[in-house]
């Protein structure tokens, strides 16, 4: 059976993958979505509306299904059942999407759950060797800032940032936005997604910062990789349909701390990192910051303030 026409965008969360996915969807040949195929992860998370949602990958669903499915009646061993079922589901899901949209290929965005990035890449390389992998990169310090804001209403009770941005305590000055746990979580998750490509690079690297500077050029690079039309008219439509103003009704830089699309700019981390935060991030992910060209060495930490003075 021929491999289905599916390709992947891999990034850490809060790196612009939703923005890129929406942009790609404006191309007449591309259906971009999020399917959460790989990573063998399942958990129940609270959401920002006070409810709960199950976070589960197809890997994990199939593994759990195999616990009670009568696969021996199919003359299959458990491992073969799991592999064949996943191949079948990916094929059917891809064809379903293409039939419904009339498009030619699927681009699946994956922001790997914590600790699963290596498995995600290995499964793609093993099961879908003809798929192109696009690595979407954003400065890990901006990722940490955006992610910590995104979780303000979920797990930040008792922190300075919650009191300042959510409770809006009168007369309060914010001296530190992060706490150690937030830096450690976001730096580790960002590092893990970045370093998974150390052994075998992606087919293309796209940067959030480059998209902000020239989104049309970055999109045309992706179109060339995927062998779809690259005309300026198509790229311009993709850009015009997914500007920050188009998506939010406000200009990039106009901050709404509690909204999903908060600010949409490059380098905002500088407003929220203290020296303690920089030291922790450098210890965990400094090598990746250097390898990706975001810093030259660890001297950036020395330029950070001991405390913030936000009021």
Task: Indicate the angle between helix axes 208-226 and 232-240, nearest 10 degrees.
Answer: 140
pLDDT (tens digit, 9 = 90+) per residue, 74-129?
999 999 999 999 999 999 999 999 999 999 999 999 999 999 999 999 999 999 99
Domains of the chain by start residue, with CATH: 6-303 (3.40.50.300)
Pull the structure tokens for residue 138.
């954003």
**For residues 144 and 141, what is the distance between their CA atoms, to the nearest angstrom?**
5
- Low-confidence stretches of the chain (pLDDT beneath 70): 1, 48
Structure tokens at 252: 């990039």
Q: What is the pLDDT of residue 1?
A: 59
Q: What is the spatial distance between Cα 265 and Cα 19, in angstroms, rounded to a whole number? A: 13
Torsion on CA atoms 210, 20, 32, 137, rounded to nearest 10 = 60
d(CA 277, CA 292): 20
Round to whole Å and give the CA distance between 238 and 107: 15
Is-contact 71 78, C-beta < 8 A?
Answer: yes
The residues that bridge with 137 in the sheet, in sequence order, are: 207
Question: How many Å separate Cα 251 from the centre of its chain?
Answer: 22
Q: Give the pTM.
A: 0.94
């Amino acid at each position: 059976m021929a491999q289905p026409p599916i390709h992947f965008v891999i990034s850490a969360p809060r790196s612009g993958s939703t923005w890129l996915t929406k942009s790609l969807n404006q191309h007449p040949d591309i259906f971009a979505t999020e399917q959460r195929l790989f990573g063998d992860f399942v958990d129940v998370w609270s959401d920002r509306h006070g409810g709960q949602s199950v976070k589960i990958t197809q890997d994990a669903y199939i593994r759990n299904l195999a616990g009670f499915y009568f696969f021996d009646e199919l003359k299959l061993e458990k491992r073969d059942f799991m592999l064949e079922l996943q191949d079948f589901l990916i094929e059917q899901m891809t064809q379903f999407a293409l039939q419904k949209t009339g498009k030619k290929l699927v681009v699946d965005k994956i922001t790997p759950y914590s600790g699963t990035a290596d498995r995600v890449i290995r499964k793609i390389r093993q099961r879908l060797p003809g798929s192109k992998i696009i690595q979407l990169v954003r400065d890990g310090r901006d990722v940490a800032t955006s992610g910590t804001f995104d979780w303000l209403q979920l797990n930040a009770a008792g922190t300075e940032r919650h009191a300042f941005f959510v409770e809006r305590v009168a007369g309060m000055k914010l001296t530190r936005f992060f706490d150690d746990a937030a830096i450690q979580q976001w730096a580790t998750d960002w590092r893990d997604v970045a370093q998974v490509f150390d052994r075998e690079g992606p087919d293309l690297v796209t940067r959030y910062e480059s998209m902000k500077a020239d989104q049309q050029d970055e999109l045309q690079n992706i179109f060339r990789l995927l062998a779809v039309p690259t005309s300026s008219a198509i790229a311009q439509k993709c850009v015009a349909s997914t500007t920050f103003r188009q998506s939010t009704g406000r200009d990039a830089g106009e901050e709404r701390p509690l909204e999903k699309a908060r600010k949409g700019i490059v380098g905002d981390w500088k407003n929220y990192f203290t020296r303690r935060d920089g030291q922790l991030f450098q210890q965990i992910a400094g090598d990746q910051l250097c390898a990706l060209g975001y810093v030259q060495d660890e001297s950036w930490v020395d330029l950070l303030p001991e405390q913030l003075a936000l009021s």
